Structure 1
């Protein structure tokens, strides 16, 4: 099975994440998309992160009604800080029957050359890149690369940071979140 890996802290997961993942599951050759909940991204500050299991629960709540979308906690038991290459190696060993690909926004592709072992990742895995409205241009070394697929997905400029700030300020952010995620967040009083 061909599985797309959508990495993120998902703090919280929102309708933008779901829309992009569902688009890839329905309109590309990926058969499923796994939301890989990241415990700690070396490029992000950790203080605003909810507990790993709480974020996993939100991803579960968001995806439970979609057959082609699943949460994945594979990184919870890997040494931290973790790097994508380590997760890919671990997944390949654990699920040799699957073919894995990476899903990322154009903004991440700009910094892909800074990732640990990015050449090895490109050698062994395909990248599915969704559009973002952002400044600057993509590294020319990645333009036209045969393992990088630019996907004509909807442009979703919605961020978890914006949602967290909105909740803290008492704004109604409910339309930006999957229904089950909103119910869970509201019940747990997260981000207030």
Structure 2
């Protein structure tokens, strides 16, 4: 990567990005399934309102440095109906409660930048590209939660490779919410971060 100003980079919605198919197909994160998703499925899923993909590009739009796919979500848990002075929904006196959330279904960076310190972008703190790119996307979600659609929690399912990255950025395993089934979540660890915790990670 040549020396660049941070302000050159932006996460843009794939279907509105104007990025050529050649640039999209050149992206390789080192995981065939995740690369193929961007190449073959991401645009269709967005058009069908299943999920939306954002790609990280610079001003030239000649290379995709990272991408993330998100969809709406909700965190489910049980509370005593007495707390809300309402009628129980279950035999043991509970009601099912939800918290609005967003799910990060995929996050991947260019394999050439994996496990690399981003000296060009971060000469002082010397963070890895993966950390910087992920935090940039969390920042986008943070502002999205206040201006596009409200949500209070970011949810994801971490594989072994991503677990440490997400943990370093404030995500924790959860057990108080009801986990939902996902065909691609086999062996993954459900993790969450509140928007308050995201704010702390990003700005403090």
Q: TM-score, normalised by structure 1?
A: 0.29
Which is richer in helix? Answer: 1
Is the radius of gyration larger for structure 1 or structure 2? 2
Given the two structures, how large is their TM-score scaled by the length of structure 2?
0.27
Between the two structures, name the one with larger relative contact order (CA 8 Å, sep ≥ 6).
Answer: 1
